[in-house]
Structure 1
Amino acid sequence: MLAILSAFVLAVAGVSVTGSAGASAPGPGETSQRYLVTGPATAQQRSLIARTGAAIDAVRAGEVEVTAIPSEVAAIRRLGFRVSAPLPAPAPVPTAQAATSYHTYAEMQAELNSVVAAYPQIAQKFVAGKSYQGRDIVGLKISDNVATDENEPEVLYIANIHARERLTAEQALDYIGQLTQGYGSNSRITDLVNSREIYVMPMVNPDGQVYDMTSDTQAGRNWRKNRQPNSTSTGTDLNRNFGYRWGCCGGSSGTGSSETYRGTAAESAPETKVIANFVRSRVVGGKQQLKIFLDIHSEAELVLWPFGYTYSDTVAGAMSSDEEATHRTIGRELAGTNGFTPEQSSDLYITDGTTDDWTWGNQRIFSFTFELGGGSFYPPPSAIDTQVARSREALLRLTAYADCPYRAIGKQSQYCAA
């Protein structure tokens, strides 16, 4: 009934149920700006906005901030919501301060090299593949006997899939530091490293990240997508380009200039295919070795779990009641440590083609998203340490669940017995 009602509302508003924007086709020169939309108070109302193709950047009581092109703004107004004049650009960060705070792509690479040099027995750098512009998409494997593929539960944490979400790479790098520096002196960390294979990829959208950090003010370009040209503009939203329920449900856009452009096909973006191929490479002997997946975003202070494409908590053949309860229980526990709000992804608004929906729906890896805090995509450098510290405990707890996520609901003997 809800789907029928949503389709009716969209039809009345002049928004295509299978498309992404209003009746008028966008021009090739359309560019995105940020706006405040007043009125949406429910997941269903926010989903109507997401269906226009606008990227929802922040959610508050009765309003959302979006990044949208003009045709999407017009579609939102036709839905009956109030749209502000464009919001001001992020405040400039002094160049000297910016250069020594958030890691550039080159500095991230140097940081990983430094970690490997300092902790060669537990840290190994790997290149998962190339971006559209030919940059290495790199990561670090952390484990005892790191050069050996042992029969241990594995986790994969990725960050910076959206270029402007700069704090996410800092969280990933901080976790690498937490594990390597604590090994041998902190028994809890030592046990995790000895009994897990932990993969961390701090910048999976390097082209977008480099472009976002290259600006005259050093404040950022508010760039979200990768840098792959499309028929009308540049960039694919990598977090709408994965192959589970791709483009199914109004949670992405088919318009190239949109912030949520889903690409021409699932995995049409090289970066998406690199991530998916890496995940598929961890199927050994017909069994997926990755037990936990985390995609780190900002800046809504949330812990999310699948599915994003449907409001249903359980889905026949795709999310059982025990699987949903395990996701929900772990999510709530993690949120209890960092102060974020725990919810199913679709409780925020409908999305499709996302990392979490694919890693769970296609690969059956227990999957989560963290939306970090900071108040913007570009929190001041002085806020980095405080913000990443909030999720250190959550990351350790999530890694610990890799042996048997069903422990969260007391059913380890049913699902994880040897």
Structure 2
Amino acid sequence: MFDYLIVGAGFAGSVVAERLASQLNKKVLIIDKRPHIAGNAFDHYNEDGILVHRYGPHIFHTNSKEVFDYLSLFTAWRPYEHRVLASVDGQLVPMPINLDTINKLYGLSLTSFEVDDFFKSVAEEVTPVRTSEDVVVSKVGRELYEKFFRNYTRKQWGMDPSELDKSVTSRVPVRTNRDDRYFTDTYQAMPLHGFTCMFEKLLAHPNIKIMLNTDYHDILDVIPFREMIYTGPVDEYFDFKYGKLPYRSLEFKHETLDKAVHLPTAVVNFPNEHAYTRVTEFKYLTGQQHHKTSVVYEYPQAEGDPYYPVPRPENAAIYNQYKKLADATPGVHFVGRLATYKYYNMDQVVAQALTLFKKLSGQEEKIELLDGVQIRLNGNGVKLKDVGVSISKNGTH
């Protein structure tokens, strides 16, 4: 008898498995359909001995000390700040758009103050900002939107930015200085020996058993367990009762080249040419020294493994129906990008998994009060004398 069956050995499942096994002495079985652990973060040495990410580049960054400190229990780190160039008008320019991007693109020599005025002069007033197109044109205007965002988004998502929620392009900042880092998080680093090595240490506890190449349907009636933690697609769990939630997928084409360096930086985006969106050279990410190099081309597609939930209001409405079912399903806990239909970064998935563990262990519950006020419950309850509210695990009075 296992205390928990965990479906999926990516970040969400592996983090919860480790915490339950090491902190609560629970017996855990973690399974995965794929022949490996680590989910989409899986990396391995290819036939030429180069460390590559099978499912495209995974770059770790976070502002959460809790998440970084937790993962540091299972890996040493290699400091790494990610940089991206975009191929626009025959030039390679920094992305996200910054001061150097504008000066190089237009042959100008603006200062930070002047480029801010430049952005204001070309920006369009959009009220309210609803779509991904609205986000960009309200910041940098129509021309830069066309050069950098529109066609890239069309390739990536299979639809025009005007059809997508504002959250998609809101992830990409616009800068008035020369900061060419893709991320500005406090903690930016890569696992020193790779993600798979980190996952092996995460799952090394004697209370954790691993089964790969396994569909959970095949063991439900065979292996006894008390509760399930599910990290797969939520619509699939409920047999698509309310229809299939749409995802974007990717095809990866890996290539090893007989030279030490191929790209001028880790990633080059191609918004307006080619069927692929970007090319990544892994040695920038890993720091590996090798006389050859390996790159991957990413081709977005509609069918295949689910990678990106498609952020549109109608999809959110379908997910909310599934969420009601999930919340009402006893003994099953849904966590991770696919199970909660959210476009989470790796650190956000880790944080979500740690929060679930705290809930399962009874250490902490987060209660939402009116007007968005939150409190945390430790133990059996707490009294808020100032507002005349008494809250316990059994209810609110």
TM-score, scaled to structure 2: 0.23
**Between structures 1 and 2, the one with greater strand share:** 2
The structure, 1 or 2, with the larger RCO (C-alpha pairs under 8 Å, 6+ apart) is: 2
